[in-house]
Amino acid sequence: MAKREVTEAKMFSQRCALVSAGILLGCALTPRAGRADEPKPTPENTIHIQLAAPVPPQKFAKPPKFFISEVIDRSGNPQPMLVLRERGGVFLDRQPTQIAREAIEQSLKAADLLAPDAASADLVMQIYLFHFGLAQGSGLDFFGKVEFSVMVKNLKTEESQEVQAKGTSIANAAVRKKNIQKNVQANIEGALEDAVRNLLRGTQLKEAVTSLQKNNPSASAAAPGGEMAFIQGNGDKGKSFKSKVQER
């Protein structure tokens, strides 16, 4: 009788061990994404970022026409559309590169400084986006940051100059999910507006435009380029040209 009880107890403990091993194996094999609350974009947690109003650019002595050739994401962020991971996540509805492009184009268009294509533009802009969204702050509030660098290029002279722009915004933290989303949206919009203003009203852009337009050879654009270059060449070539003319 006693022997039978010992055998039953042994079997019970073996079953328990098997069940717990199964649970542990199951936990280990379950993908991490499935267990942790990895946020997914839904219409409820997606925000739309845009400028409330176009940013008026500074006044240029000779207003140029700009064209934005491309916007390149250099943030190194694997999930550029996820701006906040906590509380179910907050997502952007478009890529940050697209949002930045639209904001700058909107402001340039409002001031009649936007060219329809690269061929008709005086200066072409290539934008490198370094940061878009929230940055690490004190934790007491949301710290929005938009940072980009613009390569302004004169296609006629092939000269270019770099202009940097940075926008920041600080908004109050919130407890309710709805308010978090609202504050994050206002914060990023504020930072974007600040960055666009920093670019279009910055002294760096003014200096770049002045420098690139100064070096723009308007005479060479009017006359056929080859002959002009030949006449303005070095001494030997100039002399040989003169002698040929004299011979004629």
Partner 1 sequence: MRLLTAALLATLMVAPGVAAKDPEGIYKTAEAKHFTRAEGVELSPAFTDYLYAELRSELAKTKLFVQVIGEGEAVEDADAANSVVIEGAITEYKKGNRATDAILGGYGVGARSLKLDVNLTRRSNKQNLGVVKVHVKVSPRWNEDVMAKVAAHQIAHEVKKGLKEKAKG
Interacting residues toward partner 1 by CB under 8 A: 58, 135-140, 143, 145, 166-170, 194, 197-198, 201-204, 206
Q: How far is the CB of 168 from partner 1 (least distance, A)?
A: 4
Task: Give the DSSP letter of residue 43.
Answer: G
Q: How far is the CB of 201 from partner 1 (least distance, A)?
A: 5
Neighbours of 4 (CB within 10 A): 8
Q: How far is the CB of 202 from partner 1 (least distance, A)?
A: 5
Query: Left (φ > 0), alpha (ψ -120 to 50) or beta: where does 78 sit?
Result: alpha
Of 91 and 146, CB closest to partner 1: 146
Contact 157, 217 (CB under 8 A): yes
The span from the CA of 50 to the CA of 28, in Å, is: 44
Q: Produce one character per residue of 220-248: b if its CB has 16 or more CB atoms within 10 Å, e if not.
A: eeeeeeeeeeeeeeeeeeeeeeeeeeeee
Distance of CA 2 to the CA centre of its chain: 77
Distance of CA 241 to the CA centre of its chain: 52
Q: How far is the CB of 41 from partner 1 (least distance, A)?
A: 27
Q: How far is the CB of 130 from partner 1 (least distance, A)?
A: 12
